[in-house]
Amino acid sequence: MTDKIKISSLPEFDASHYLDSETAIAEYLTAIMDDGDSALLAAALGDIARARGMSDIAKSAGLTREALYKALRPNAHPRFDTISKVCKALGVKLHVEPI
């Protein structure tokens, strides 16, 4: 008989560990944008910022590290100018196309 694994003993998934290339980041953001959830977009940008270094991204975006964490936490609803600054600091841009 095999031992059962307790879900509570599993580590929490952190997408930032897999965002190690420009292609991975672009694919991740594209999938998030397709969902249309602004809070999920903020959290995804937070994942990317953690992968790139939160302090460096905060500095490039003209925000404090604490403000960046607050703006990009799950279920946050940051202002568009914050999203725009963070995208620029991350070296990505949001793309619009007709559906």
CB 78 within 8 A of CB 42: yes
pLDDT per residue as tens digits for the range 70-79 = 999 888 889 9
Q: Please report the pLDDT score of residue 74 as a whole number.
A: 80
pLDDT interval class at 85 (50, 70, 90): very high
Answer whether residue 96 is part of any domain: no
Answer whether residue 74 is part of any domain: yes
Answer whether residue 10 is part of any domain: no
Q: Is the pLDDT score of 2 beyond 80?
A: no
Q: Please report the pLDDT score of residue 63 as a whole number.
A: 96
Answer whether residue 58 is part of any domain: yes
DSSP-H helix ranges across the chain? 22-35, 38-52, 54-61, 65-71, 80-90
Answer whether residue 34 is part of any domain: yes
Answer whether residue 61 is part of any domain: yes
Answer whether residue 95 is part of any domain: no
Q: Is the pLDDT score of 98 beyond 90?
A: no
Q: Locate 16 and state its tokens.
A: 């930032």
Q: Please report the pLDDT score of residue 1 as a whole number.
A: 58
CB 49 within 8 A of CB 43: no
Residue 27 sits in which domain range? 21-90
Answer whether residue 11 is part of any domain: no
Number of domains in the chain: 1
pLDDT per residue as tens digits for the range 20-64 = 998 999 899 999 988 888 888 899 999 999 999 999 999 999 999
